[in-house]
Structures are given as C-alpha cells and as structure tokens.
Amino acid sequence: MNAAQPTDRRARRKAETREKLLEAARGVFARQGIETTRINEITDAANVGFGSFYNHFDSKDAIVAAVVEETARDVGAAIDVATVHLEDPAEIVAVSHRVLVGLATADPELGWLLVRLELTHGVVSRGLGAYAARDLDLGRTHGRFAIDDVPLTLASTGGALLGAMRALLAGHPPEGTAERHAAVVLRILGLDVDEADEIASRPMPPI
C-alpha cells in the first residue's frame, strides 16, 4: 500500500466517467443530431449526474469537439492500417472509401454520426479531408489523377461518400455498394470506367 493508490483509483474512475459521457454523446448525436441535443440528454444516457458533466467538459461545444476529434482519429487510423502497404494513389483512395463505407454499414450509429457531424462540423470534409487531400495531392503529382481544383474535388468525393452512406442508412442494399462507390470516386479523379471498376473491386488488403 502506498499513498499513490487512491489517486490512481480516482484518476481511473474519472477517465471511465469521461469515456461513458463520450460514448453516450456519440449515440445521442447520431440519433438526433448535434444542434438539438442538450447536456442533460447526454448525462441521462450515460447514467451520470448532470453536475459531474462539468468535471470533464466545460460546455456542450467541448464534448462535441472531443467526439469530432476522436471520431476523425479512429476512422483515420482504420484507413491508415488498411492502406499502409499500398503504393498506387488510386488504390489508396479506393480502399480508403471502401473502409469508410464498410464502417458505416457495419456500425450504423457511426454512419449517422459521420453524416450529422459533417453538416455541423465538417468531420469528413475537414477532419478526414486532411487524409484525403494528402492522397489526392500524391495522385496529382504522379499524373495519376486528372484534377485541377483540389478543394472542389474533395467536396465532390466527400459529398459522394456522404450520399452513399445516407443511401445505405436509408436501406440501399449493401452488397457491392462500397466497391461501386469507390469506382465513382475514381471516375471523379479522372480514371476511365474500366480501370476504375478494376481497381475498386480488387481484394481488400489484409488488415
């Protein structure tokens, strides 16, 4: 026994409560959107007292910012793992979009969260957009992509992605949708129809 233990326990409990609040916030934001959510709806969903919210976050904006950051980081990490061994920018982009569509299909709450956070906080266009911009620049530099307005291209591919996610969340059959969406993205980047189809339907890299 030493004096550090009670502090450790308190720190661990505090971290657990923070994680409970974040998890609850993700769910409430996904269901009803960010703008209409009140803090007590988050604490109720987390089964945490209203007052203790402020031990972890200064405001609703602060927990929204934490959810945005965490979501962009987690999704970005999943993309990095899937694309780390690829070299062709076109295949990197295709696999990235297939991972994103796959995540939204496997976890509709995450899909809704991305759709909702995009409107209010640009989580796809600004957060994940940093990843996407890197890949587009790479492809443009290598002459692989025929694009001249990178910000508009990011808006187009991000918009097409959100459109595909929303179609899936609304009941579009998932079979083959991630591949067809990835082919759409490669067409936007200037690849011809046959090459876009071929690259978009390659076996996914082992994760």
Based on CB atoms, which residue is closest to its own copies, 52 or 201?
Answer: 201
Task: Kindly state the smallest distance separating residue 9's Cβ from its own copies, in Å.
Answer: 41
Within 22-41, the residues that bind its own copies by CB under 8 A are 32-33, 35-36
Task: Kindly state the smallest distance separating residue 74's Cβ from its own copies, in Å.
Answer: 23
DSSP characters over 106-134: H-HHHHHHHHHHHHHH-IIIIIIHHHHHH
Task: Kindly state the smallest distance separating residue 175's Cβ from its own copies, in Å.
Answer: 10
Task: Kindly state the smallest distance separating residue 189's Cβ from its own copies, in Å.
Answer: 8
Based on CB atoms, which residue is closest to its own copies, 76 or 190?
Answer: 190
Separation between Cα atoms, residue 165 and residue 112, nearest integer Å = 8
**Among positions 190, 198, 201, 204, the unique one binding its own copies when judged by CB under 8 A:** 190
**Among positions 158, 182, 199, 200, the unique one binding its own copies when judged by CB under 8 A:** 158
Region binding its own copies by CB under 8 A among candidate stretches 39-47, 66-74, 132-140, 150-158: 150-158
Contact between 193 and its own copies by CB under 8 A: the answer reads yes
- Cβ 120 vs Cβ 35: under 8 Å: yes
Within 43-102, the residues that bind its own copies by CB under 8 A are none
Residue 33 CB contacts under 8 Å (≥ 6 apart), including other chains:
116, 119, 120
Query: Looking up tokens 């991630």, which residue turns up?
Result: 178
Residue 164 CB contacts under 8 Å (≥ 6 apart), including other chains:
101, 172, 177, 181, 184
Distances (CA, A) of 152 to 73, 78, 105, 142: 23, 25, 26, 19
User: Largest Cα–Cα distance in the chain?
Assistant: 68
Helical pair 108-121 and 89-106, crossing angle rounded to 10 deg:
110
**Among positions 22, 64, 72, 115, the unique one binding its own copies when judged by CB under 8 A:** 115
Which residues lie near its own copies (CB under 8 A)?
32-33, 35-36, 115-116, 119, 125, 146, 148-149, 151-164, 166-167, 172, 177, 180-181, 184, 187-188, 190, 192-193
